[in-house]
Structures are given as C-alpha cells and as structure tokens.
Copies of this chain bind each other. A is one copy, B any other.
Amino acid sequence: MASSCFADHLGDFVALTPTERDAIHRLEERERILRRTGILVRENDRAGELFILKRGMMMSYVLLDDGSRQILRFLFPGDMMGVASIAYALSPETIVALTDCTVCPFECGALAQLMTEHPRLGAAIMVLHQMERVSLTDRLVGLGRTSAKVRVASLLLELRNRMRRFDPEIGSSFVLGLTQEEIGDATGLTAVHVNRMLRQLEDDGLIGRENGRVLFRDEVRLARAANYVDRFEGLDLSWLPAAR
C-alpha cells in the first residue's frame, strides 16, 4: 500500500477509498530533501509548483521594506504548501525549512487532474483550505485585538496541538523549535518582549521552560487565557459528494 502523508492528513476527516488514496499518492511521486534554513520558495520568485510537506517543520513569511518580517504560518507534515501559485505567477511569500525536511513538489496540472477525476477530493482539499483560512483569521484577530501575553500563549498552544496531530507522544511538554525572535515575528512582537511575556507566563504558573522545552503547567487556564479555539474540531463534512 502506497503511503501518503497528505492522504493521512485528509483521512483524519474523510474516509478515503483505496482509489482516492492512490490518486493522492500521485502528488507525492517526487521527493526533495531540504536542510534546515533551506528556502523552498522565495517571495516574488516564479511559482508554478505546489508542495506536500512530508517530514519536518517549515514556515512561510513575508519581508517588509524596513527589514521586518511577518511569519504567516507554521507548516507540519501533511500540509499543502505554496498553494498561492494556483492563482499567482509570483509567490507572495517565502517558504523555509525550520528543521531538515522532505517535501513532495507537484504541478498545478496534477491538482487539476485530481479535481477532475476525483471531485470529492477536490472538495475535501477545499475544506482543508478553509480550515487554514479560519486559522488565519484567528491569528488576525489575535494580532488586531489581543495583548502580547495572550498572543504568545496562543501560539504555544497552537504549535503544541499541531505537533501532537502527527506525534501523539507529545503531551503537556514539547520542544518548541523556534527562537524567541521567530515567536516575535509570528506574533507581531519584538524578541525582547516575547522574552518578557514568556517569563510572565512562567511567573503566572502557566508554563515551565528549560532549554527550548516548554511545559504546560495548567493547560485549562492557559487555553482560557489565550482564548484558543482548536480548528480541527467542530467539523461537518457531510455535504461532500460521493467518492468516484
């Protein structure tokens, strides 16, 4: 049986037929290894490909004229990346590896074929995109209307939950794998202030820290403080068309 990272991810929400799994697997025929800090796609470079992240952790970001950076999204195994290239000739964002990674590049045409031959998969992919869009609006709300402490707490929760999806071993303690500067670029803060917020969360008894490892000391209170919503819950996919 051909294994597919994306099919596994999708399969968490939709029961896939063997034929569908097979079709998805064709998106992952090629493989590319990327070292830590390796750039997969550069902002404003020509972008004709999409990717499935198979192994490792990546992120996408935008650089501004003044040199500041806004991290848009952290990427985990099973995530589809560079999807903007279905619309734009040039990539609107940079995608870079945070750890050593394996990615599977495929052409827009392969997506077209998949959607044509398997409308239900096309619909399911659209669902994934919407989930991602809603997560993005959650972050928008965070940046626009919540305090620094809440934003940092919220990011910690989100990262832990996303990691746990493909590594169920992870409990209330996990390795963050981000510098404080990266946390800042994701939450719209400076590295210095991120440091202070982490200290406060620690002093509040909400988290513990030791060399890159974060421990949730009171997850309920932390989630409440971060007004965090898990967007992998509350799904309703009953409308999907029949498998072909």
Contacts and interface: CB of A to CB of B under 8 A. Distances in A.
Interface of A is mostly: helix
A56 interface: no
A153 B115 CA distance: 40
A88 B239 contact: no
Nearest to A115: B119
A201 interface: no
**How many monomers of this chain does the complex have?**
2
B115 A123 contact: yes
A111 B187 CA distance: 35
B86 A127 contact: yes
A62 B144 CA distance: 11
A176 interface: no
Contacts of A125: 126
Interface in A228-244: 229, 231, 234-237, 239-241
A141 B62 contact: yes
Interface stretch (A3-11, A16-24, A131-139, A162-170): A131-139
A139 B141 contact: no
Contacts of A137: 62, 72, 92-93, 136
Given A115-B122, A227-B64, A241-B116, A144 B188 contact: yes
A88 B123 contact: no
A31 interface: no
Interface in A96-125: 107-109, 111-113, 115-116, 119, 122-123, 125
Interface in A129-172: 129-134, 136-137, 139-141, 143-146
Contact of A131 (B87, B108, B146, B235): B87
Contacts of A139: 140
11 contacts: A86-B123, A86-B130, A86-B239, A89-B235, A89-B236, A92-B134, A108-B239, A115-B122, A122-B122, A136-B137, A140-B140
Interface of A: 48, 62, 64-65, 68-70, 72, 83-84, 86-90, 92-93, 107-109, 111-113, 115-116, 119, 122-123, 125-127, 129-134, 136-137, 139-141, 143-146, 185, 187-188, 227, 229, 231, 234-237, 239-241
